[in-house]
Amino acid sequence: MFVLPEAWVWDFWIVDDGVRYHLFFLYASRALKDPEARHYRASVGHALSDDLTDWTRVTDALVRSDPPAADDLATWTGSVAKGPDGQWYMFYTSATAAPDGSNVQTISYATSSDLYDWTKAPGPVLRADPRWYERLSDGLWSDEAFRDPYLLRDPDGDGWHLLITARANHGPADERGVVGHATSPDLRTWTPQPPLSEPGQGFGQLEVPVPVVIEGRNYLLFNCLDTHVSDARRATGTPGGVWLAPSAGPLGPYDIAGAQLLADRRHYVGRILADRSGQQMFLAFRHDGPDGDFLSGIIDPIPVGVRDGRVVLLDDAN
């Protein structure tokens, strides 16, 4: 398990350079006392592993910028991929404060030649486009949700895509969560696109959306706690947590309404990736303790399998 005694650790993303796994994670000092305050003090740390279990911390990757800047409040969740120019690209959530204290989220990126030393590009490169996405001024949500960019190559080789946590500009307030979308020919110039899913499917937000393939089948992995599902879904007693929606492919269509709960709120921001043997493994950060208190720390990997047509976690000892 990856824990820091002096800091809370939560959202994370992992990239495999072919030799080692690189863990990028959000962390904030426990001296803040209140774990909810961590969101506005988040930096991006960095650690290395050969096996997804034993991690060695190295120099931090990113910290927030001095104001005025798109990320002068915090640097939040993102993803990393290697570009055709040999550079590594980290797309991340840049957060700044609105006059009323609410946060406005946009998408920025940084580059690196070695995954250790990162240089921010001028940003942001994307923000919520009101043609399709809810803005803070709509007054229906606590923030302007446009975050958690997941970078992937176009399946047909035509450039790049970002999947983004966003909210549609129409539909019931508690069901506006959608998979935001943007495209780029070169990783540097981005064009906002309509969302890849529709509102009205039971979720106020789809956090950290990531396409995954498990035993040959496509899914969208996303996260939503019971506090942010629709009133109708909450009435069924769902605990919220990590969800899997059947999918036709990495860019959808996604069956968001038919998503299954993979892990309850003891775990959050789930990731599924293959270890060196090819076994699909699940990682997440520890969210709720036995008393409902926030725990922090990234669990050891849990094997993932399919039983009776349903994706399950095997031997969960975390």
| Domain boundaries of the chain, sorted by first residue | 7-313
- How many beta carbons lie within 10 A of that of residue 195, not counting itself? 23
Distance CA 145, CA 20 (A): 33
Place of tokens 């050891």: 300
pLDDT recorded at residue 316: 66
Q: Is the pLDDT of residue 304 over 80?
A: yes
Residue 238 three-state SS = coil
Cα separation, 293 vs 35, in Å, equals: 9
Cβ-Cβ contacts under 8 Å for 175 (sequence gap 6 or more): 199, 200, 201, 202, 203, 204, 230
Is-contact 228 202, C-beta < 8 A?
no
In angstroms, rounded to a whole number, what is the distance separating the alpha carbons of residues 281 and 225?
22
Q: Which CATH number fits domain 7-313: 2.115.10.20, 1.10.10.10, 1.10.287.3510, 3.30.390.30?
A: 2.115.10.20
Q: Which two tokens mark 48?
A: 């290395």
Contact 127, 94 (CB under 8 A): no
| Tokens at 272, concatenated | 């599924």
List, for residues 118-149, the tens digit of each pLDDT value: 999 998 999 999 999 999 999 999 999 999 99
Render pLDDT for 233-259 as a digit per residue (tens, 0 to 9). 999 998 899 999 999 999 999 999 999
Residue 13 has pLDDT above 80, yes or no: yes
- Band of residue 83 on the pLDDT scale cut at 50, 70, 90: very high
Would the pLDDT of 87 be above 70? yes
State the Cα–Cα distance between residues 177 and 198, nearest whole angstrom: 8
Indicate if the pLDDT at residue 318 is higher than 80. no
Q: What pLDDT shows up at residue 315?
A: 80
What pLDDT, in 10s, does the model give residues 192-237?
Answer: 999 999 999 999 999 999 999 999 999 999 999 999 999 999 999 9
With a pLDDT cut of 90, the percent of the chain lying above it is: 95
Among candidates 162, 106, 109, 164, which has minimal Cα distance to 136? 106
For residues 5-29, one letter each, b for 16 or more C-beta atoms within 10 angstroms of the residue's C-beta and e for the rest, the string is: eebbbbbbbbbeeeeebbbbbbbbe
Q: Is the dihedral of CA 294, 270, 196, 112 positive or negative?
A: positive
Name residue 109's amino acid. Y
Regarding pTM above 0.95, the answer is yes
pLDDT value at residue 56: 98
How far is the CA of 45 from the CAs of 4, 28, 116, 136, in angstroms? 11, 10, 10, 29
